[in-house]
Amino acid sequence: MKNIVVIPTYNEKRNILSLVKKIGDIDILFIDDNSPDGTADVIEKLKMKNEKLKIIKRERKMGLGSAYRAGFKYALDNGYDNVIMMDADLSHPPEKIPELLDVDADFVVGSRYIKGGKIVGWPWYRYFLSKYANIYAKTFLKMPINDLTGGFNRIKKEVLEEIDFEGLKSDGYAFQIELKYYAWKKGFKLREIPITFKEREKGKSKLSKKIVWEAFWLVLDLSVRCKV
Ligand SMILES: Nc1nc2c(ncn2[C@@H]2O[C@H](COP(=O)(O)OP(=O)(O)OP(=O)(O)O)[C@@H](O)[C@H]2O)c(=O)[nH]1
Ligand SMILES: [Mg+2]
């Protein structure tokens, strides 16, 4: 099996080295949007000594969803069987990657909101926002998944081949929801495994009001139109 971890980066210079070390012996594709802090230069330097590292460099900040669309295309074009989606900020536990790959499902979600799942380091309002956004999305979409906004997932190539991921429009958390929704609608098997999510220690969050509203409207839109 050929597996690849796809990681969008924007101003994550201080996280790259420990992230690469912790992920270990697996291909990693970074999608960097010309981060002003020089993230791409750090990756390029490591890449000289590590042939498992790949990078797509884009000219400007185009959003998380757009970065994943480029990463998925690369993975399919280069014959990978599984894509692991992951943030660069060490919030997701790299040691859980083997388990993500092991679970018998088409789409495995690393979940903060099932038994055994945890969030460490978030203030109450951040937890509240995320928890209720997930209850809202789950209720409206009638999906059996508790962490729809989660960004630590493993997807089989068949899922990406089947859903029109390049046609997905959203960018922030909404992209995570939209992707899971279409995989589920197409009849693929989704499963959750518990993870511990840790607040980033280095760098800044890119969460914005716009991202939250995008997710709010997407859920309404999908639940009303019930596409596919
Ligand atoms: N290429 C690219 N990556 C992005 C963009 N926006 C965010 N990212 C990356 O997407 C991942 C998730 O973004 P975060 O800033 O951690 O957002 P978050 O997880 O909602 O917020 P915090 O964990 O609280 O910081 C990180 O690896 C970011 O560097 C973007 O426009 N382009
Ligand atoms: Mg983060």
The domain tally of the chain equals 1
- Domain containing residue 64: 3-225
* Dist CA 168 CA 48 (whole Å): 34
HSE-CB of 214 using CA atoms within 13 angstroms: 20
DSSP string, 52-98: TEEEEE-SS---HHHHHHHHHHHHHHTT-SEEEE--SSS-S-GGGHH
Which two tokens mark 149? 């906004």
Ligand 1 pocket check: which of 206, 208, 209, 212 to mutate, most ligand atoms within 8 Å of Cβ?
Answer: 206
At residue 85, what is the residue type? M
The pTM of the full predicted model, rounded to 2 decimals, is 0.95
Give 30's DSSP letter: E
* Dist CA 213 CA 208 (whole Å): 9
Is any ligand 1 atom within 6 A of the Cβ of residue 87?
Answer: yes
Measured at the CA of 77, the angle between CA 72 and CA 79, to 5 degrees, comes to 95
Ligand 1 pocket check: which of 35, 39, 64 to mutate, most ligand atoms within 8 Å of Cβ?
Answer: 64
Per-residue pLDDT of the chain (228 residues; tens, 9 = 90+): 999 999 999 999 999 999 999 999 999 999 999 999 999 999 999 999 999 999 999 999 999 999 999 999 999 999 999 999 999 999 999 999 999 999 999 999 999 999 999 999 999 989 999 999 999 999 999 999 999 999 999 999 999 999 999 999 898 889 999 999 999 999 999 999 999 999 988 887 777 788 888 888 899 889 888 655
- In the chain the first and final C-alpha atoms are separated, in Å, by 30
CATH code for position 85? 3.90.550.10
